[in-house]
Structure 1
Amino acid sequence: MTNDQPYTTAGAAAEGFQLLHRENNAANYGYREANRLNLQHFLWRESLQFNTHPSVLPCLAPGPLSIADVVCSTGLWLIDTARELPHAQLDGLDSNLTLAPQKHLLPSNIALYEWDVFQSQSTVPSELVGKYDLVHVRSLATRLAEKDLKPVIQRLYQLLRPGGCLQWDESDYTNMCVKNADPASEAPALTELLKLWYSDGHYNWTRALPQLLREGGFQVPVDEYFDAKTELVKAFHDLHLLTLDEFALAIIRMGKHEAAAQIFKMVSDSVEEHRRGASLSIPQLVVVAIKPTVV
């Protein structure tokens, strides 16, 4: 995480971000959030060039596959993967299915179920224990503090059959930065937004994900790092600003209007900074972990 000159109006905004982190949930389940998540899916797919990591399918037993997308949100990963694997059964699991398509709009091999992987008292439903060949999750960092990771990892472990794979796609907040076409040019609004998002390393656990999964009983053969392709820098930058807008709206719902106003102002100022060549960049991580066949 890189720093530049300070942005002088961000005091309340910092308090708003701290509150957001304590709540660990910025979702509003409206059409704005759905559009942002849909854009995120397509950009991740374009960046990674896969939905399912190439190492996964060769590791799995032959025959029809059972696949789960945990925190499936709008369901686009499921829909894309169902097209690639038409003989697989795909289940979407989420605490709130408002953003997902209705049943009659989904392919016949996709089913959706309400289940909250984050709930501290949550247990894996007995009918789902050991059911899946592949479990996929993406972008959970804004919903998870490091202290809450172990039980979530354990629940994901329980969903898998022995030999099954977990694919976890995540943002690398440790190495996010402001990229500038002119290194001498300053971008104070983007720099302050970066600092607020970094939040003293609140999301740094994403870089330690392979070790955290090993501690949870997994074998981890794949830990890959992806930076935005040059032609996608602007699209990802705009996505990150949309995400910051959603954070500000969540902070308004928590009653912190001044904090949200400061964030909106910085986002607005950053548009001009982007025109001058500055972009917010957040690399991506893909970790593939395997549940051992013998424990």
Structure 2
Amino acid sequence: MSAPEYVFARDYLDNNRINLQHYLWVEVFGYLLHPDIPLQNPNLKIADIATGTGTVLTDLSRRLPPSVQLDAFDISFQAMPPRELLPPNINLHQWDIKTDIPKEFEGVYDVVHIRQLTFVLLDDEIETALRNVFKLLKPGGYLQWADVDVHSLRIEKVNQESSTAALEKIVEITRSADRRLIPHWIPELPTLFEKTGFKDIKSDTRDASGYMGYTFHECVLMVHGMIVQNSRNDEVAQRLRIAFPEALKETYQGAYHAWTRWTVIGRKPE
């Protein structure tokens, strides 16, 4: 049996997770689009790939003139609000980043934004995805890709005597559910940008500490619940059901998962 196209559930709980992570992410990094990306042109064309709930574009719509074109790309728009509720300058286009781009979108965009494809692309799919995205950009256009390095995981705790065994366990179990949950390509993004042909590459890595890290952790805890719901492996789901309540207890005692998050930008040569 093949794996579902999306590891998580497209429902109101997952939508809330995505939306909360967006605002936490912007708070931790201090920007939605990197300060080096020029945004003065009132006729900018911006694409958001794997847009999910569309929260990146709806947030941009409040920050940029209504003349800016904001295009959402995804394989499904089930997670987005009804079209009637979206700003009029947001357009929806169905596209899978793993496939070649439609000809009408080649060289169209000043900025392409991508975030949180960590659990979507396998290690052997990332180079093709980057080449596809490169084609979307105008000469001189910018790509911003933001993601979390799952292999940077560590456990922080306010009480050094507290147990973290269950928090460690749920990560081990979840990673065994789907190989998309253990990608290695995130720290390689700067090198992959260069290999694709991008110039002026910059990397920004941030760790969310204190209450912000704890809030991120509680948000990400929903992922484990969705693995229980979506896993095709009954053994994995059952093991998580047993371990998850103990992981919650450890969380409420002040222990939490922490990760390093990356934002990488690059410019397509003129």
TM surpasses 0.5: yes
Instruction: Give how far 1:215 is off.
Output: 1.0
Q: Is the 8 A contact 1:227 1:284 kept in 2?
A: yes
Instruction: Indicate if the aligned counterparts of 1:171 and 1:282 stay in contact, CA closer than 8 A.
Output: yes
| Runs of 5+ consecutive residues of structure 1 not aligned to the other structure | 1-18
SS in 2 for 1:260: helix
Quote the offset at 1:237 in angstroms.
1.2
Q: Give 3-state SS (helix, strand or coil) of 2:23's partner.
A: helix
Task: Name whichever structure is richer in helix by fraction.
Answer: 1
Please state how far the C-alpha of 1:206 moved relative to its aligned partner.
0.5
Instruction: Select the residue among 169, 189, 195 that pairs with 2:166.
Output: 189
Inter-partner Cα distance in structure 1 for 2:40 and 2:107: 14
Deviation digits for residues 1-54 of structure 1, max 9, x if unmatched?
Answer: xxxxxxxxxxxxxxxxxx99x667313322222122112212212222221111
Q: Find the aligned partners of 2:174 and 2:186 in 1 and give their Cα distance.
A: 14
Please point out which of 60, 64, 80 is paired with 2:43: 64
User: For this pair of structures, how many residues does the alignment match?
Assistant: 266
Contact 2:194 2:201 in 1 (8 A): no
> Structure 2 CA distance, aligned partners of 1:42 and 1:61?
23
Counterpart position of 1:156? 133
For residue 245 of structure 1, give the secondary structure of its aligned residue in structure 2.
helix
Q: Is the 8 A contact 1:173 1:198 kept in 2?
A: no
Partner of residue 257, structure 1: 234
* Structure 2 counterparts to residues 30-49 of structure 1, below 5 A: 30-49=11-30
Does structure 2 retain, via aligned residues, the 8 Å contact 1:178–1:194?
A: no
Could you tell me the TM-score, scaled by structure 1's length? 0.84
Q: Distance in 2 between matches of 1:129 and 1:34?
A: 30
CA distance in 2, matches of 1:195, 1:225: 25
Residue 126 of structure 1: aligned partner: 103
Higher percent of residues as strand: 2
Structure 2 gap ranges (5+): none
Structure 2 residue 75 is the aligned partner of structure 1 residue 95: yes
Alpha carbons of 1:170 and 1:220: their partners in 2 closer, same or farther (altered >3 Å)? farther
Change (3 A) 1:27 1:198: closer
1:221 — aligned with what? Answer: 201
Identity %: 30
Indicate yes or no: 2:185 matched with 1:208: no
CA deviations 1:173-202 (Å, max 9, x no partner) are: 221111122334321011122334566993
Alpha-carbon separation, structure 1, partners of 2:137 and 2:9: 30
SS at the partner of 2:80? coil
CA shift, 1:220, in A, is: 4.5
The answer on 1:81 being equivalent to 2:60 is yes
CA contact (8 A) 1:174 1:207 kept: no
Quote the residue 1:7 is aligned against: none
How far is 1:55 from its partner? 1.3
**Does 1 or 2 have the higher relative contact order (CA < 8 Å, sep 6+)?**
1
Code of the residue aligned with 2:209 in structure 1: it is K
2:258 paired residue number: 281
- In the alignment, residue 211 of structure 1 is paired with which amino acid? T
Q: TM-score, normalised by structure 2?
A: 0.91
